[in-house]
Amino acid sequence: MKKIWFILFLLPINLVAQFSKPYPLPAVENVLKKSGRNRAELETAIEYFKKQRDPLKIKAIEFLISNMDIHYSEDYFWADSTGKRLDYNEMDYSDFASAVEVFNTIKSKVGKVQPIAFKYQDIDTIKASYLIENVENAFGTWKQPGLPDLSFEDFCEYVLPYRVSTEPLQNWREIYSKRFSWMRDSSKMETMTELLADVATDLKTWFINTWDIESRQEPLPRLGALQLLARKKGDCDDIGGLQVFTLRSQGYPASVENVPYWATTTGRHFFNSTLDENMKLLPFDISTADIKINTLSREPSKVVRLTYSKQPGTLAAQVPSEKIPPGFLRMQNYKDMTAQYWKTNTLKAKVFGRKDKPTVAFACVFNGFGWKPTWWGNVRGDSVDFNNMCQGAVFLPMYYINDRLIPAAYPIISGYEGTRELKPDTLHKQSITIKQQEKYLMFRPGKKYKLYYWDNGWKNCGEEIARENSTELVFVSAPPNALYLLIPEYSQRKERPFSISKDGERQWW
């Protein structure tokens, strides 16, 4: 009897061990190990395609799973005043107006409600059926007549992925495939630019661009694919995602290009890219009149392309995230595309000496009235190099220490005719004249204006009051070769820094 019980006890363990044996591809096995209880779902998807004996579909599911551990969704739910989750989901209703009506009814009964933000990892929650359907539908669009002749690698990166960013996961492919099926007929008679113009025309009939009109109050950074169709409105981020879902559903390669921060103004930007009929890069912004982007409107701090796969050249692939400032630099799935859109320089900066000098420095731009990290470089000895930095901007090298950005060097001008360090000469003060300039700086009589210069922080170097009919202000104690900032008493924190050349010419940054 003891022997029989021993055999019965071992049998299920052996079966489990056989099903969960290490996967031969290390990148896939690494993710499977992390997936815990959800490993069976991922393995089921792999086995499904292995049974089909289609080597490309096997490679496709391996591509998705091997890069899945960096992906997650940012979502939220509604709760009452005690934190108890309400039985409500906007996607349960036929249209957004109905969802809002039901939500208002719930609020009238429950009283105060609150949104609760949460995240969930793909490897913990994604189902085999979702992956299988995604792969099958994506392959169904590949190699169709009239579509770009994509390599398998480009197909995996720009058609196959089931997500764009951190949006809530929703089963979108089949719905989008039917909703935008008209594109397949149009593509047989049009260039890609003409087809995108048709997409823009269609978009205007049902989708509202909410940029600078309204902002979402709930903690939902990105709308899910089906939420975009249901709400019929969204900002630049959402429109970028919408175009990726739309094009990929028809077999076109598509990606989101991101300007994390403008280098010479406040804000950021999202647009898209695809390939034209000649397999050349075609950047476009569906929300603008021209659609096709021939050049950006101003200097970008960087242009990065969001990818699904991990990119070994990212900083987050090399150092722990806590050593990186919050933002896109903590991601592992982006490519630097700046040189495709703007003239660039390599910036070399001499860094300040300190005992706890980090091995990485960050190139920051002045955006939103503060310095924002936009790229990085390895510190070697007493210097750091920043590659592919846009021309026509000024950058401040900074360290990230104890969750704070700290100046690492003096500002550097990345000019169209060279680079220059802005190290203020505090020993030889000079008088500088600041003239008003249409659209940039117009003086208001009786108002105070303070001039600051950068020296490891903004230092005050004078205050003047604009006189009646005055078109210029004179500050008698300003250090040469500095980065300046003129702030009026009525400031809305939109002022731009500037420098003044030896011949007195002012340059806004």
User: Per-residue pLDDT averaged across 419-432, rounded?
Assistant: 95
State the helix-helix crossing angle for 26-34 and 55-66, rounded to 10 degrees.
50
In which residue are the tokens 């500050």 written? Answer: 475
> What is the Cα–Cα distance from 423 to 411, expressed in whole angstroms?
7
Residue 15 predicted with pLDDT over 60: no
How long, in residues, is the chain?
A: 509
What confidence tens digit (pLDDT) does each residue in 63-88 have?
999 999 999 999 999 999 999 999 99
pLDDT band at residue 146 using 50, 70 and 90 as cut-offs: confident
Q: Which helix (H) or strand (E) holds 506?
A: strand 506-508
C-alpha distances (whole Å) from 52 to each of 45, 46, 235 are 11, 10, 42
pLDDT surpassing 50 at residue 245: yes
- Residue 438's contacts (CB-CB under 8 Å, 6 or more residues apart) are none
Of all residues in the chain, what percent carry a pLDDT higher than 90? 89
- Domain ranges in the chain are 73-118, 176-309, 341-421, 430-508
What's the DSSP call for residue 181?
T
Six token digits for residue 348: 């070399």
Report pLDDT for 461: 94
Q: Average pLDDT in the 162-182 region?
A: 97
Q: Which of 438, 439, 479 is nearest to 459 (CA)?
A: 479
Separation between Cα atoms, residue 11 and residue 30, nearest integer Å: 27
What 8-state DSSP symbol labels residue 83? -
Which of 214, 218, 215 lies closest to 78 in space, CA to CA?
218
Q: Give dist(CA 258, CA 302) in Å, integer.
A: 8
pLDDT at 20: 62
> What is this structure's pTM?
0.92
Nearest to 249 by CA among 172, 170, 166, 146: 172
Q: Dihedrals φ, ψ of 15, to 5°?
A: -65, -45
End-to-end CA, the chain = 85
What is the percent of the chain where pLDDT is above 70? 96
Asked whether the predicted pLDDT for residue 1 surpasses 50, the reply is no
The third-level CATH classification (topology) of the domain covering 176-309 is C8orf32 fold (3.10.620)
CA distance 95 to 320: 43
CB of 395 within 8 A of CB of 386?
yes
What DSSP designation does 282 have? Answer: E
pLDDT, tens only, 123-141? 999 999 999 999 999 999 9
pLDDT tens digits, 438-449? 988 999 999 999
How confident is the model at residue 83, as a pLDDT?
95
CATH 2.60.40 is the classification of domain 430-508: yes
Q: Read off the pLDDT of residues 188-220 as tens digits, 9 standing for 90 and up.
A: 788 999 999 999 999 999 999 999 899 898 999
> What is the pLDDT at residue 238?
96
Q: What pLDDT shows up at residue 361? A: 98
- Mean pLDDT computed over every residue of the chain: 94
